[in-house]
Chain A
């Protein structure tokens, strides 16, 4: 099915470990973004990209890196995981000239 695919769905990390959360879309959307969802906080923007090779920081970028080498993929990297990064992460995309964002099903990350 077309849409935004996130992997893995669940992950447990130890403090200090690194990992990459994957996000891929097959709708040829230019815009992609990462959010984290914490209880009582809603969703907060981590990083976003307006096209291949272009990324920028959102509201809560510290501790996360991104890159956008292709239109389809927008991975989120945690270089040294911390318990404060325990959260549910959502990837979203939209097409240029439209306002409709499509969300992935999320990755639940626990850092112990």
Chain B
């Protein structure tokens, strides 16, 4: 079984400042990693995903994440945030297809608050 830990429940950042949202995972097998964003009263939108290959993954809206196998981490970064980035961010993990039960295991979420 896998687990995901998002180390910060809330991260306040000033507009145009850089941000890092931290995510650590635990798994006995290889994993796929995801970051999703949820704007208020909306569903989940995929920001980016790591399946294999390059450990630096670029996503939508200027976000990127780096997979670090030795640290079992998948931290999300953005060099300059905007008010519109205010949202809940979820890190999630699953095993490659056929590797076990289907479905995503989510972290508890990080609320990104952008201050003007």
Query: Chain B contacts of A56 at CB under 8 A?
Result: 101
* Nearest-CB residue, chain A, relative to B96: A99
Query: Which of B9, B102, B106 interacts with A31 by CB under 8 Å?
Result: B102
Query: Chain A contacts of B86 at CB under 8 A?
Result: none
Asked whether any CB of chain B lies closer than 8 Å to the CB of A69, the reply is no
The answer to whether B42 and A45 touch across the interface, beta carbons within 8 angstroms, is no
Q: Which of B14-22, B43-51, B61-69, B74-82 contacts A (4 or more CB under 8 A)?
A: B43-51
Query: Chain B contacts of A45 at CB under 8 A?
Result: 103-105
The tally of CB-CB contacts under 8 A between chains A and B is: 62
Q: How many residues of A contact B (CB 8 A)?
A: 26
The answer to whether B97 and A42 touch across the interface, beta carbons within 8 angstroms, is no
Query: Chain A contacts of B104 at CB under 8 A?
Result: 33, 35, 43, 45, 92, 101
Asked whether any CB of chain B lies closer than 8 Å to the CB of A58, the reply is yes
The answer to whether A104 and B43 touch across the interface, beta carbons within 8 angstroms, is yes
